């Protein structure tokens, strides 16, 4: 039997972020992981080419996520993009991600605050009086705790604990979402998964793999191609090692994880493409069969690249660390079970708002993220759907389970519709959800309150203050970072609605306008710090300092 203040079940990016946040808050933590190592997307799922937003190098992510990125780069001597892949500003090998995570967690493991259990999936839940008392793991161990966070890849703890959950499409009738499947709910319409694989190119050699069962069907139905329908409505045409006829960059460097021209040795390219995007079966409903067939599909796509596209020198890198025979040890998960909450985040909440730089405000925000709503093929519904979003927030209400009373969502399983969850699912989004959940769990333990009380004004204010104190933004402001003394008051006021609508900057030293004054006073009222009669000064910085009771630099 193991016991901790906070038990985090699931070792992907959300679980790691939750464990780090709870441990840094001084809580004892057990972090369990069904896989052989931590990291999820960037390790065992083999997607260490980070899907992020355009502002990631300067803002819109937390200090802890930035530390993760910095540690990965430090492992390559500070190189900004070790893979040189053009899909991301940071592409790297999976073992570099695993090392960075180990470095982040090591001080807490050494201090005895954090225990990490790998190869241990949740198998059963013991509960009493509407609370989870303990989780039994697949290796027979039982872990007791006060607050539990579900950071599993498929929302397994939600199901085991009897929490309400949904999956697939809610259907257009539910919320009027354009990205939903028409009509009523389609729980089987779960998004595709992908088993990525690593290859190197050895010209003049033949490394063609055997044609797997079902090859012809997959080749013709996927279909296998280097061209892809783009989000902009046109077909993007790629060539393997050269620029495409429409100016598209080489396919080879799309998700390249190691750039030999800079690092020496060999190029390593990750193949995660529409060609091996598997949507025949749901990973939630038939996990073993779906994973096995997704693996065969990836072998089929590799065979096509070698035998029919004309690149027999592509060699599956079977000895690559962090993979199983050159292929991802586990499928890349795009969709989890999602917490069913009274008011889920919908597509409408993330859409751009005319005249505003941000999506609709979420007063109970506990984090930020930004990615388009990117729906890959769903089981029974092969079309790809895309919609733009504006920089958005993570509402606390999407993390708190209606039951059991001590359960929080901490990964892709937050309370959002399928369309909205498709924007939260990427690397920095999952990290932000996990960090918020771990911070909330630690707050509940410290205050001896259930998560349901986190929405009370005083508790929410304290939770938001704790997040801001650790450098986690709760509002979209780019020009006041975590190292700035103004960060805390600016974030609190911005989350309460005091933002300049024409951009993501506050411009704290610009003169205040009448609209600024009105927005600041209204935000102060929402925070319970009435500003009527206060001397706001002549700049946003001075006003924020006066209203938040902080001292500016």
What pLDDT digit, counting tens, does each position of 173-231 carry? 999 999 999 999 999 999 999 999 999 999 999 999 999 999 999 999 999 999 988 77
Calculate the CA dihedral of residues 77, 81, 84, 88 and round it to 10 degrees. Answer: 160
264 class by beta-carbon count within 10 Å (0-12 exposed, 13-18 middle, 19+ buried): exposed
Which residues have CB under 8 Å from 247's CB, separation 6+?
A: none
- What distance in Å separates the CA atoms of residue 105 and residue 110, rounded to the nearest whole number? 9
Across 306-312, average pLDDT: 98
Q: Which domain holds residue 429?
A: 2-171+335-469
Q: How many CB atoms lie within 10 A of CB 306?
A: 20
**Distance from CA of residue 261 to its chain's centroid?**
31
Q: Note the pLDDT of residue 553.
A: 31
The answer to the question of residue 177 being in a domain is no
| pLDDT > 90 fraction of the chain, expressed in percent and rounded | 89
Give the CATH number of the domain where residue 106 resides.
3.50.50.60
Across 323-329, average pLDDT: 87
- What distance in Å separates the CA atoms of residue 367 and residue 399, rounded to the nearest whole number? 11
Same-domain status, 117 and 207: no
* Residue 551 banded pLDDT, cuts 50, 70, 90: very low
Is the distance from CB of 90 to CB of 69 less than 8 angstroms? yes
DSSP conformation letters of 481-539: -TTSTTHHHHHHHHHTT---TTSS---TTSBPPHHHHHHHHHHHHHTT---TT----SB
Q: Note the pLDDT of residue 319.
A: 85
Across 405-417, average pLDDT: 98
| pLDDT > 70 fraction of the chain, expressed in percent and rounded | 98
Same-domain status, 265 and 395: no
* Inter-residue long-range contacts of 130-134, CB under 8 Å, 24+ positions, other chains counted: 130/403, 130/404, 130/405, 131/404, 131/405, 131/406, 132/161, 132/404, 132/406, 132/407, 134/1
The answer to the question of residue 140 being in a domain is yes
The answer to the question of residue 92 being in a domain is yes
Q: How would you write 27-52 as a 3-class SS string?
A: CCEEEECCCCCCCHHHCCCCCCECCC
The answer to the question of residue 553 being in a domain is no
Q: What is the token pair recorded at 338?
A: 């999602």
Cis, bond preceding 223 (omega within 30 deg of 0) = yes
Across 439-449, average pLDDT: 98
Q: Note the pLDDT of residue 229.
A: 81
The answer to the question of residue 375 being in a domain is yes
Is the distance from CB of 101 to CB of 75 less than 8 angstroms? no
Q: What is the pLDDT of residues 466-514, one digit of tens each?
A: 999 999 999 999 999 999 999 999 999 999 999 999 999 999 999 999 8
Q: Note the pLDDT of residue 61.
A: 98
Nearest to 230 by CA among 59, 75, 386: 386
Same-domain status, 149 and 9: yes
Q: Note the pLDDT of residue 532.
A: 58
Same-domain status, 16 and 165: yes
Residue 315's H or E segment, with its range, is strand 314-316
Q: Would the CA dihedral through 158, 341, 416, 164 be positive or negative?
A: positive
Is the distance from CB of 8 to CB of 51 less than 8 angstroms? no
Q: What is the pLDDT of residues 86-97, one digit of tens each?
A: 999 999 999 999
Same-domain status, 453 and 320: no
Is the distance from CB of 107 to CB of 22 less than 8 angstroms? no
Mean pLDDT of the chain: 95
* Residue 401 banded pLDDT, cuts 50, 70, 90: very high
Last residue of a domain, one of 304, 328, 352: 328
Q: What is the token pair recorded at 310?
A: 């004309």
Q: What is the token pair recorded at 365?
A: 């925000």
Residue 14's H or E segment, with its range, is helix 13-24
Q: What is the pLDDT of residues 355-385, one digit of tens each?
A: 999 999 999 999 999 999 999 999 999 999 9
Instruction: Reply yes or no on whether the pLDDT at 274 is more than 50.
Output: yes
Any bridge partners for residue 270, and if so which? 198
Same-domain status, 79 and 108: yes
Across 338-345, average pLDDT: 98
**Local structure of 256: helix, strand or coil:** strand
Instruction: Reply yes or no on whether the pLDDT at 30 is more than 50.
Output: yes
Same-domain status, 54 and 197: no
- What distance in Å separates the CA atoms of residue 146 and residue 163, rounded to the nearest whole number? 17
Q: Note the pLDDT of residue 545.
A: 86
234 class by beta-carbon count within 10 Å (0-12 exposed, 13-18 middle, 19+ buried): exposed
Instruction: Reply yes or no on whether the pLDDT at 73 is more than 70.
Output: yes
Same-domain status, 70 and 201: no
Cα–Cα distances in angstroms (integers) from residue 149 to residues 212, 396, 513, in the given order: 40, 14, 44
Q: Please compute, for residue 136, the number of CA atoms within 13 A of its CA located in the half-sphere on the CB side.
A: 7
Q: How many domains does the chain have?
A: 3
Instruction: Reply yes or no on whether the pLDDT at 529 is more than 80.
Output: no
For residues 500 and 109, which has the higher predicted lDDT (pLDDT)? 109
Q: Note the pLDDT of residue 552.
A: 34
Q: What is the pLDDT of residues 255-269, one digit of tens each?
A: 999 999 999 999 999
Across 268-280, average pLDDT: 97
The answer to the question of residue 439 being in a domain is yes
Same-domain status, 280 and 414: no
Instruction: Reply yes or no on whether the pLDDT at 548 is more than 80.
Output: no
Same-domain status, 324 and 344: no
**pTM tops 0.85, yes or no:** yes
Nearest to 413 by CA among 151, 191, 170: 151
Q: Please compute, for residue 301, the number of CA atoms within 13 A of its CA located in the half-sphere on the CB side.
A: 28
Q: Note the pLDDT of residue 550.
A: 39
Give the total residue count for the chain: 553
Q: What is the token pair recorded at 11?
A: 């070792």
Instruction: Reply yes or no on whether the pLDDT at 535 is more than 90.
Output: no
Same-domain status, 156 and 23: yes
The answer to the question of residue 478 being in a domain is no
The answer to the question of residue 186 being in a domain is no
Instruction: Reply yes or no on whether the pLDDT at 549 is more than 70.
Output: no
Q: What is the pLDDT of residues 117-159, one digit of tens each?
A: 999 999 999 999 999 999 999 999 999 999 999 999 999 999 9
Last residue of a domain, one of 278, 294, 328: 328
Give me the helix-helix angle, 487-495 and 457-469, nearest 10°. 140
Is the distance from CB of 544 to CB of 496 less than 8 angstroms? no
Q: Note the pLDDT of residue 526.
A: 85
Same-domain status, 349 and 375: yes
Last residue of a domain, one of 408, 434, 469: 469
């Amino acid at each position: 039997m193991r016991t901790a203040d906070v038990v985090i079940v699931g070792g992907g990016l959300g679980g790691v972020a939750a464990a780090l946040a709870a441990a840094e808050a001084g809580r004892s933590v057990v972090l369990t992981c069904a896989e052989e190592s931590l990291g999820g997307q960037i390790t065992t799922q083999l997607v260490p080419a980070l899907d992020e937003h355009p502002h990631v190098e300067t803002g819109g992510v937390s200090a802890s996520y930035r530390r993760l990125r910095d540690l990965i780069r430090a492992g390559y001597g500070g190189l900004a993009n070790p893979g040189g892949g053009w899909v991301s500003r940071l592409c790297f090998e999976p073992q570099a991600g695993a090392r960075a995570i180990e470095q982040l967690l090591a001080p807490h493991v050494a201090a005895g605050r954090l225990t990490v259990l790998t190869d241990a999936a949740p198998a059963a839940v013991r509960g009493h009086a509407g609370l989870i008392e303990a989780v039994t793991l697949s290796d027979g161990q039982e872990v007791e705790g006060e607050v539990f966070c579900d950071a599993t890849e498929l929302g397994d703890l939600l199901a085991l604990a009897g929490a309400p959950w949904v999956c697939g499409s809610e259907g257009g009738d539910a919320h009027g979402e354009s990205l939903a499947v028409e009509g009523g709910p389609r729980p089987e319409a779960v998004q595709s998964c992908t088993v990525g694989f690593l290859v190197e190119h050895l010209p003049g050699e033949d490394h063609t793999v055997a044609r797997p069962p079902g090859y012809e069907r997959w080749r013709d139905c996927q279909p296998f191609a280097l061209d892809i329908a783009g989000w902009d409505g046109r077909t993007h045409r790629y060539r393997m090692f050269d620029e495409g006829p429409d100016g598209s960059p080489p396919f080879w460097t799309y998700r390249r994880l190691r750039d030999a021209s800079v690092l020496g040795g060999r190029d390593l390219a990750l193949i995660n493409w529409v060609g091996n995007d598997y949507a025949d079966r749901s990973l939630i409903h038939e996990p073993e069969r779906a994973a096995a067939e997704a693996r065969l599909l990836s072998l089929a796509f590799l065979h096509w690249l070698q035998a029919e596209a004309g690149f027999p020198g592509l060699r599956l890198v079977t000895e690559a660390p962090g993979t199983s025979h050159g292929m991802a040890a586990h499928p890349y998960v795009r969709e989890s079970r999602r917490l069913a909450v009274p008011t889920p985040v919908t597509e409408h909440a993330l859409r751009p708002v005319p005249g505003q730089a941000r999506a609709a405000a979420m007063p109970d925000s506990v984090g930020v993220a930004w990615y388009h709503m990117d729906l890959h093929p769903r089981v029974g519904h092969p079309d790809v759907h895309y919609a733009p979003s504006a920089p958005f927030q993570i509402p606390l209400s999407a993390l708190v389970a209606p039951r059991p009373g001590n359960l929080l969502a901490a990964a892709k399983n937050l309370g959002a519709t399928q369309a909205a969850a498709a924007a939260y699912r990427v690397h920095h989004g999952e990290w932000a959800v996990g960090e918020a959940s771990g911070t909330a769990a630690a707050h509940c333990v410290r205050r001896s309150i259930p998560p349901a009380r986190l929405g009370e004004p005083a508790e929410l204010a304290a939770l938001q203050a704790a997040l801001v104190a650790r450098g986690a933004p709760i509002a979209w402001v780019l020009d006041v970072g975590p190292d700035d003394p103004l960060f805390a008051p600016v974030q609190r006021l911005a989350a309460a609605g005091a933002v300049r609508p024409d951009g993501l900057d506050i411009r704290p030293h610009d003169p205040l306008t009448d609209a600024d004054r009105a927005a600041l006073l209204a935000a102060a009222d929402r925070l319970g710090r009435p500003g009527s009669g206060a001397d706001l000064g002549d700049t946003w910085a001075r006003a924020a300092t006066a209203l938040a009771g902080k001292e500016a630099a």
